[in-house]
Chain A
Amino acid sequence: MKTHNKSGIPYTLPRQSATFTNEVNSEIRRAAATGIYDIRGGGAKRRVPNFDDLLFLGASISRYPLEGYREKCETNVTLGTRFAKKPIEIDIPITIAGMSFGALSGPAKEALGRGADAAGTSTTTGDGGMTPEERGHSSKLVYQYLPSRYGMNPDDLRKADAIEIVVGQGAKPGGGGMLLGQKISDRVAEMRNLPKGIDQRSACRHPDWTGPDDLEIKILELREITNWQVPIYVKVAGARPYYDTTLAVKSGADVVVLDGMQGGTAATQDVFIEHVGQPTLAIVRPAVQALQDLGMHRKVQLVLSGGIRSGADVAKAMALGADAVAIGTAALIALGDNDPRFEAEYNKLGTTAGAYDDWHEGQDPAGITTQDPELMARFDPVEGGRRLKNYLKVMTLEAQTIARACGKNHLHNLEPEDLVALTVESAAMAGVPLSGTSWIPGAG
């Protein structure tokens, strides 16, 4: 590149626009070429205030720590203690979020069940019904009750250990879904009562109820069908967490699952994922406040999801008042999704390891988000399950390490007072002081 003109006067360095970045421009060119909005999987990729913006204080003179490896720090949690005769008791406060058979292969669902089971936690079905693989390999299985009702039947409902009524998800609050035809194998089509090879739309709202008054009656119906045995969760996107949590509790939920915008989806419009919803960090305190205002904190359990990656995230979510967390994207990565060993194949798909998100196209080199028999064969569900178990154990150990350092003998004893924030934004969202100050923006 020339740096000077003929007279020897230097050129100003080429300046890229902060508004029209290369990435933005590439999307404009793609839209201009195709006339179709970009559809992808995963959650929000933009940087939003998140748990990395919080720090634990640890112990000091005013608080003493627990001895690592000697003094116990419990991790168990019971979900659904409000009405259900059989609440779910799990050993660790990390559950596997709902992901559908259809979006994921049968072996991938099996691996999630195996890993969750070995770590003593629950896994969750998704849009598309319950498969024998996941029921067989998950001793604690949450059955999602979704607007599409694909595969819904009372026999599977009664086989479930809990029912999760999905009102929304963090990646697309107010949105439905679409499983493109190329992923509709004979088996997926049969489970969904639709012809093979056609796009399968998932509705954005339930076909037989609208609003909290109806939801209360729907919960009654599901309890009657299942003889009040199992907990009923209500999953909402983190759009209006205070009011949605309030309404879910008033409708009779045993557990509220709250999903922030970093939470993944199998497929939806990129514009939806990036521009609708709220960061996970921002939604937990309003939801906890709603529970406290109703006198239901710890009576109706709160499960937080959306971009949870480590034991530190788990500990921070629990310190802010959640009872447990759910992981989806992180679990897929543990299984082998976006692994650099497939870099050459990601390159052929026009992407790179870590950025691959066209899960809906069914060409996943890792064999996880596909129904292609050849690609599926690359994935070993036993090994996948082992990896997921390891990852869950590591997250738990990390959370325990932090909790002990804060002097807590149970992860549930972590509290907002254990935290400070690194930025004004995260301090306001989390309701904890800005580091080095006693200032909580927005408080008082």
Chain B
Amino acid sequence: MQTLDLAKVELREVNSTLHAQKEDTNQTSWEVVNPKGSHAIAVGLDAPIEVTIMGSTGYYCGGMNKQATINVKGSVGPGAAENMMSGALIVDGDASQYAGATGHGGLLVIKGNASSRCGISMKGIDIVVHGNIGHMSAFMAQSGNLVVCGDAGDALGDSCYEARIFVRGSVKSLGADCEKKEMRVEHIEILKDLLERSGCDAKPEEFTRYGSARNLYNFDVDNAAAY
């Protein structure tokens, strides 16, 4: 285990050290201590390494991650795992706004609650929130899976495209063009896999699936009020 102490070194050194790890590095286990809410920790990683951040972080923790598995022993600020391509970000605590925004791939697990706009414009990422999520989550979500084990706030899935949204609890309201969908066998399989990989003991059958009604896919003046 290699340790990087943000009380002793600058953010630049932390990230450049992690960036220097190549595909075949034998230093696969890293620990970042004293994060104290710093922004942009472990961003742009591109190696199959495991990084554990011992505390809470500021904005964009794990942004644009590829391959790495990043664990946060605390909560994360806005935009955690934004535009993640692959790998994983696992947050023990809560997440602020825009968690997983525009993510293309990989797995984001939030063991607490996630604030508003979780999964905004997601493009293939899988997000599992053990708790609740805030309003406007999965806004304009393009693809991937958003799994919510608790409740969802207002305007869930507004203007979403082909992303799948699974909610176990209540949904305060659905956004424009988002509707309840049939839960088919393949969806149960997707959920089963995601719940297992994210360490959640909920049962797939307890969830309801939501997705795009596809009424706003091509402009129609009769839908103008929904745009």
Contact = CB atoms under 8 A, between A and B. Distances in A.
Contacts of A228: 12
Most buried by B among A157, A178, A194, A228: A194
A contact patch SS: loop
Contact of A225 (B43, B120, B217): B43
Contacts of A36: 219, 221
Contacts of B102: 149, 152, 207-208
A13 to B, nearest CB: 40
Interface stretch (B57-65, B127-135, B178-186, B188-196): B57-65
Interface string A148-168: 110011100100000000000
Interface in A166-205: 178, 180-181, 192-195, 197-199, 201, 203
Interface of B: 11-12, 15-16, 19, 39-40, 43-44, 46, 58-60, 63-64, 66, 78-79, 82-83, 85, 97-98, 101-102, 104, 117, 120-121, 123-124, 139-140, 142-143, 159, 161-162, 217-219, 221
A23 interface: no
A228 B104 CA distance: 24
A188 to B, nearest CB: 14
10 contacts: A148-B121, A152-B102, A154-B44, A154-B64, A154-B66, A180-B219, A181-B217, A193-B124, A203-B140, A218-B60
Nearest first, the 5 A-B pairs at minimum CB distance are A225-B44, A208-B79, A198-B217, A149-B102, A208-B98
A224 interface: yes
Most buried by B among A36, A152, A224, A227: A224
Nearest to B60: A221
A112 to B, nearest CB: 26
B142 A194 contact: yes
Given A203-B121, A203-B140, A198 B12 contact: no
Interface residues of A, number: 34
Most buried by B among A36, A153, A197: A153
Interface in A121-160: 148-149, 152-154, 157
Contact of B58 (A194, A197, A209, A217): A217
A225 B63 contact: yes
Contacts of B159: 201
Contacts of A203: 121, 140
A225 B64 contact: yes
B40 A217 contact: yes
Interface string A275-296: 0000000000000000000000
Most buried by B among A149, A192, A198, A221: A221
A436 B193 CA distance: 78
B84 to A, nearest CB: 10
Contact of A153 (B58, B85, B98): B85
B20 to A, nearest CB: 10
A62 B161 CA distance: 66
Nearest to B227: A201
B116 to A, nearest CB: 11
A214 B59 contact: yes
Given A152-B83, A214-B78, A227 B19 contact: yes
Given A157-B64, A207-B102, A208-B101, 19 more contacts: A149-B123, A153-B64, A153-B85, A154-B46, A154-B85, A180-B219, A192-B142, A193-B124, A194-B142, A198-B218, A203-B140, A208-B79, A208-B98, A217-B58, A218-B59, A221-B39, A221-B40, A225-B44, A227-B15
